[in-house]
Amino acid sequence: MNPRAKLTAKQAALYLGVSESLLRKWRGEHYGPVFYRPTDAPNCPVLYEVSDLDMFVAQRKSKAAQSAA
């Protein structure tokens, strides 16, 4: 998949293997992968870049490895 590809929250949740509600919770807690809204419109969807999702997973893996050591 193109690392610059944009995914909706639903698609990003599937990509990460988590629920869409967990992604929403993470956004509210300022945690999780980087996201953005293309416009300031109130109904504008949240989007994620595949490269940001991959980076989030990689960071979680390195933290888990450090905790196990």
Stretch 25-32: mean pLDDT: 96
Residue 63 lies in a domain: yes
Domain range spanning residue 36?
6-68
User: Cα separation of 48 and 37, whole Å?
Assistant: 9
CATH number where 11 lies: 1.10.1660
Residue 13 lies in a domain: yes
Residue 41 lies in a domain: yes
Residue 19 lies in a domain: yes
More confident residue, 18 or 61: 18
User: Cα separation of 62 and 50, whole Å?
Assistant: 19
pLDDT in tens, 37-52: 999 998 999 999 999 9
Residue of 27, 33, 25, 34 lying closest to 57 (CA atoms)? 33
> Which tokens sit at 25?
């919770």
User: Cα separation of 53 and 41, whole Å?
Assistant: 24
